[in-house]
Amino acid sequence: MSFENKVVIVTGAAVGIGKATAIAFAEKGAKVVVADIDIKKGKQTISLIGGDAFFIEINVANSESVKNVVKDVMNRFGRIDILVNNAGIYYQGDVIETPEEEWDKVIAVNLKGMYLCSHYVIPIMLKGNGGVVVNVASEAGLVGIAGQVAYNVSKAGVISLTKSMAVDFARKGVRVNAVCPGTTETPLVKNALKRSKDPEKERRKLEECRPLNRLGRPEEIAAAILAMASDNLGYATGSVFSIDGGYTAK
């Protein structure tokens, strides 16, 4: 699998799954754009990658910000081959516990953010040599996980966005796929565990509920994202790939 000279934007690449993905693409020869709202950690990711990679601040929920980022990337590289819509946030709460502003925030970042980035990047792919979009959904988009309704709904939306864009652009040279990770060891999960009454017990519960009896590693999810973006899987579009330790197979 080579991504030599491909220009890849990874949103939310300062930490976690996005960071592992940016590093993995760079190792395979890609020119990587680390796009994140967190400037300090985003620049740290760049210092690990080096080469042609560069950091750019983005708020995926803000259309002006997304538009400017796409413009900057085009000024720098003149093309965009792969978009990884990865940036996401989490909120814990059922439908009664979730305040309206938290609902709006989760939907704005997790779902509207992927729409906005696709809205501005896909036209560039269509004018160029085509491209691939990989959306990071979740096991939570496939089943109703208790106590995180806004997050679940945002990720179910991402799966629909993936399939909708896949059929719209299949004959125009743009493939769109989704990966659905299970619980993976990232700052998002570590922070959620820290907020629980007994983090160790909660962690064991998250491990034991899946057949493989462990959490995922960011590098494992990155490997799935690269596979979905690669020409080796050129027949895959609208595909939704679960990588969750068997959680949704039960």
Ligand X SMILES: NC(=O)c1ccc[n+]([C@@H]2O[C@H](COP(=O)([O-])OP(=O)(O)OC[C@H]3O[C@@H](n4cnc5c(N)ncnc54)[C@H](O)[C@@H]3O)[C@@H](O)[C@H]2O)c1
Distance CA 108, CA 26 (A): 29
- Asked about 115 being catalytic, the answer comes back as no
Q: Cα Rg for the chain, rounded, in angstroms?
A: 17
Could you tell me which of 31, 29, 28 has the C-alpha nearest to residue 10?
31
When the beta carbons of 137 and 174 are compared against ligand X, the nearer one is 137
- Strand order across the beta sheet in which 31-36 lies: 54-57, 31-36, 7-11, 82-85, 131-136, 174-181, 240-243
Contact call for residue 18 and ligand X (CB under 6 A): yes
When the beta carbons of 126 and 202 are compared against ligand X, the nearer one is 202
Contact call for residue 183 and ligand X (CB under 6 A): yes
* Contact with ligand X (CB under 6 A) among 3, 7, 9, 12: 12
Contact call for residue 59 and ligand X (CB under 6 A): yes
Per DSSP, 239 falls in state -
Contact call for residue 34 and ligand X (CB under 6 A): no
Contact call for residue 152 and ligand X (CB under 6 A): no
When the beta carbons of 126 and 193 are compared against ligand X, the nearer one is 193
Q: What are the Cα distances from residue 184, in Å, to 43, 47, 115, 190, 222? A: 23, 24, 24, 9, 11
When the beta carbons of 188 and 223 are compared against ligand X, the nearer one is 188
Asked if 210 contacts 247 with a C-beta cutoff of 8 angstroms, the reply is yes
Residues in touch with ligand X (CB under 6 A): 11-12, 14-18, 36-38, 58-61, 86-89, 109, 136, 138, 181, 183-184, 186-189
Which residue numbers are catalytic? Answer: 151
